[in-house]
């Protein structure tokens, strides 16, 4: 009888760098590691997990990502380590639906709650690159392809309905959804757990525009219940610019541990909101070319995603009742509407909520930062309340432009008021 070889990785523990080296050697045996020169570095910068880069002197490398039992951002956020399985499996699936747009997964391990994946160090984190106002001309085309193929490819319109339900069951993700329901759909409007981080100069503005507007709260409640109940597509669930690796040639989406079956506008809206943060950073720095590129991206991401989804719909729709031009138009309209709403929700929660974004927090000049934050919130409220008016990319850019004009007019009238006295 074959004896099972004991390994220190037979029971779960949180790895240190030396363990990661041993682990990579054991689990990624398809690489001919140069054992003596292997080194590991913990490179995690996220809120939740531990990420090791293991390399050797021959130029081999692998990324090992491990889930801990509590979030890095806060010890009282306890999380099921099964999220690493969910993340690995969805990356494999996304890689099939949109080849080349996600890192390759070499293995995943439900004992250690860890996986090994392709090292994407020849790419940069998009948020970091955009803080330097770098431009990526292929981004809108590439991200829209990724979204159209993955999101449309997992809908009931296209998939066998029983297979779809099987995926929905497999990717049910209650704990991570719970975080989104709290941080995106609740706390930015009432600070019920005292965790919001509001920039003091805009505290009064936030109180009036976000905490006290019952009409806004009603819209957010509708959107929250929609997020919780509408199993439309297998969404990434956290598609911000820190979950995108990019270079001149290529775009790769990673970190999909918030994925589940939800409304697809959630992903598209996240991309839009995070591009607006990049715009706000560029604007505060006077980076005109960069801002112009971001504005084009806003328009293109909406229009290209919609076009590609329509094409995908025409080519792949299987549900016979959905093979109907009027229904298709209705379906596309709801996606753009949801995208608008979520762009608004993400803009708000990243300005006032627990997890702020560097694009905004690194604006050193206090007045410029306050202006940027007010522009984001003003645009956000329009994106949420007037979501059904949004039809194409230009509508999204107009919301941003109108918000700038509104905030600047507000500022002007209060300054002239001071001058008059
Ligand atoms: P978390 O779930 O904790 O947010 P991420 O998946 O975002 O973890 O990874 C954290 C960081 O580790 C990323 O911002 C990136 O710098 C690095 N990283 C993650 N995956 C890779 C990869 N495949 N190649 C290179 N670096 C990676
Ligand atoms: Mg991350």
Query: What's the mean pLDDT in 363-382?
Result: 98
* 52 beta partners: 42, 64
Ligand 1 pocket residue status of 63, Cβ below 6 Å? yes
Q: Which one of 237, 247, 254 would you pick to mutate in the ligand 1 pocket, going by the greatest count of ligand atoms within 8 A of its CB?
A: 254
Ligand 1 pocket residue status of 49, Cβ below 6 Å? yes
What is the overall mean pLDDT for the chain?
A: 95
Q: In this structure, which residue's CA is closest to atom 19 in ligand 1?
A: 51
Q: Ligand 2 center to residue 369 CA distance, Å?
A: 24
Say what the pLDDT of residue 47 is. Answer: 73
Ligand 1 pocket residue status of 117, Cβ below 6 Å? yes
Say what the pLDDT of residue 3 is. Answer: 57
Say what the pLDDT of residue 4 is. Answer: 66
Say what the pLDDT of residue 421 is. Answer: 45
Query: Which ligand minimizes its atom distance to the CA of 42?
Result: 1
Q: Which one of 17, 24, 28, 46 would you pick to mutate in the ligand 1 pocket, going by the greatest count of ligand atoms within 8 A of its CB?
A: 46
Dist CA 187 CA 181 (whole Å): 9
Ligand 1 pocket residue status of 119, Cβ below 6 Å? yes
pLDDT band at 420 (very low <50, low <70, confident <90, very high): very low
* Nearest to 155, CA basis, from 327, 2, 288: 327
Contacts with 275 (C-beta within 8 Å, 6 or more apart), sequence order? 241, 294, 297, 298, 301
Dist CA 37 CA 24 (whole Å): 13
Say what the pLDDT of residue 74 is. Answer: 76
Atom of ligand 1 nearest to the CA of 120: 24
Ligand 1 pocket residue status of 255, Cβ below 6 Å? yes
Tell me the backbone φ, ψ of residue 382, rounded to 5 degrees. Answer: -65, -45
pLDDT digits (tens, 9 = 90+) for 197-250: 999 999 999 999 999 999 999 999 999 999 999 999 999 999 999 999 999 999
Ligand 1 pocket residue status of 29, Cβ below 6 Å? no
Contacts with 233 (C-beta within 8 Å, 6 or more apart), sequence order? 150, 151, 152, 154, 155, 261, 262, 263, 264
Ligand 1 pocket residue status of 254, Cβ below 6 Å? yes
Q: In this structure, which residue's CA is closest to atom 4 in ligand 1?
A: 46
Query: Which ligand minimizes its atom distance to the CA of 47?
Result: 1
Q: In this structure, which residue's CA is closest to atom 25 in ligand 1?
A: 120
Query: What's the mean pLDDT in 302-329?
Result: 98
Contacts with 336 (C-beta within 8 Å, 6 or more apart), sequence order? 265, 302, 306, 390, 391, 392
Ligand 1 pocket residue status of 125, Cβ below 6 Å? yes
pLDDT band at 75 (very low <50, low <70, confident <90, very high): confident
Query: Which ligand minimizes its atom distance to the CA of 106?
Result: 1
* 125 beta partners: 245
pLDDT digits (tens, 9 = 90+) for 249-258: 999 999 999 9
Q: Which pTM was predicted?
A: 0.94
Q: In this structure, which residue's CA is closest to atom 1 in ligand 1?
A: 46
Torsion sign across C-alpha atoms 366, 367, 368, 370: positive
Q: Ligand 2 center to residue 399 CA distance, Å?
A: 28
Query: Which ligand minimizes its atom distance to the CA of 68?
Result: 1
Say what the pLDDT of residue 72 is. Answer: 77
pLDDT band at 418 (very low <50, low <70, confident <90, very high): low
Query: Which ligand minimizes its atom distance to the CA of 253?
Result: 1
Atom of ligand 1 nearest to the CA of 103: 23
Residues 100 and 132 sit within 8 Å (Cβ to Cβ) = no
Lowest mean pLDDT among 47-56, 75-84, 136-145, 254-263: 75-84
Q: Ligand 2 center to residue 237 CA distance, Å?
A: 12
pLDDT band at 331 (very low <50, low <70, confident <90, very high): very high
């Amino acid at each position: 009888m074959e004896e099972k070889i004991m390994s220190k990785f037979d029971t779960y523990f949180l790895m240190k760098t030396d363990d990661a080296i041993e682990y990579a050697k054991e689990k990624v045996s398809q690489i001919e590691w140069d054992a003596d020169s292997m080194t590991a570095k913990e490179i995690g910068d996220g809120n939740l997990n531990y990420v090791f880069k293991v390399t050797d002197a021959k130029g081999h490398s692998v990324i090992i990502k491990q889930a801990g039992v509590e979030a890095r951002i806060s010890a009282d956020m306890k999380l099921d380590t099964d999220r690493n399985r969910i993340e690995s499996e969805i990356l494999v699936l996304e890689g099939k639906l949109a080849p080349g747009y996600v890192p390759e997964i070499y293995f995943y391990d439900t004992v250690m709650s860890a996986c090994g994946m392709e090292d994407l160090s020849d790419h940069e984190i998009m948020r970091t690159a955009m803080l330097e106002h770098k431009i990526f001309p292929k981004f809108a085309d590439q991200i829209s392809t990724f979204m159209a193929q993955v999101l449309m490819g997992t809908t009931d319109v296209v998939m066998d309905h029983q297979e779809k339900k099987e995926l929905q069951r497999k990717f049910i993700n209650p704990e991570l959804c719970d975080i989104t329901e709290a941080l995106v759909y609740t706390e930015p409007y009432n600070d019920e757990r005292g965790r919001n981080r509001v920039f003091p100069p805009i505290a009064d503005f936030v109180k009036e525009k976000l905490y006290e507007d019952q009409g806004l709260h009603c819209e957010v409640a509708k959107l929250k219940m929609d997020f919780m109940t509408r199993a439309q597509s297998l969404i990434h669930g956290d598609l911000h610019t820190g979950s995108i690796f990019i270079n001149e040639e290529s775009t790769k989406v990673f970190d999909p541990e918030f994925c589940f079956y939800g409304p697809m506008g959630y992903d598209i809206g996240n991309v839009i909101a995070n591009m607006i943060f990049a715009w706000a950073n560029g604007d505060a720095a006077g980076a005109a070319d960069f801002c112009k590129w971001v504005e084009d991206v806003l328009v293109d991401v909406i229009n290209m995603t919609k076009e590609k989804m329509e094409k995908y719909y025409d080519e792949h729709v299987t549900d016979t009742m959905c093979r109907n031009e009027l229904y298709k138009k209705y379906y596309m309209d709801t996606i753009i509407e949801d995208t608008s709403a979520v762009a608004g929700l993400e803009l708000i929660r990243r300005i006032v909520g627990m997890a702020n974004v560097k694009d905004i927090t690194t604006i050193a000049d206090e007045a410029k930062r306050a202006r940027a934050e007010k522009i984001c919130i003003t645009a956000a409220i329009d994106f949420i309340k007037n979501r059904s008016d949004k039809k194409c990319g230009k509508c999204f850019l107009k919301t941003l432009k109108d918000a700038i004009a509104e905030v600047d007019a507000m500022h002007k009238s209060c300054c002239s008021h001071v001058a008059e006295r």
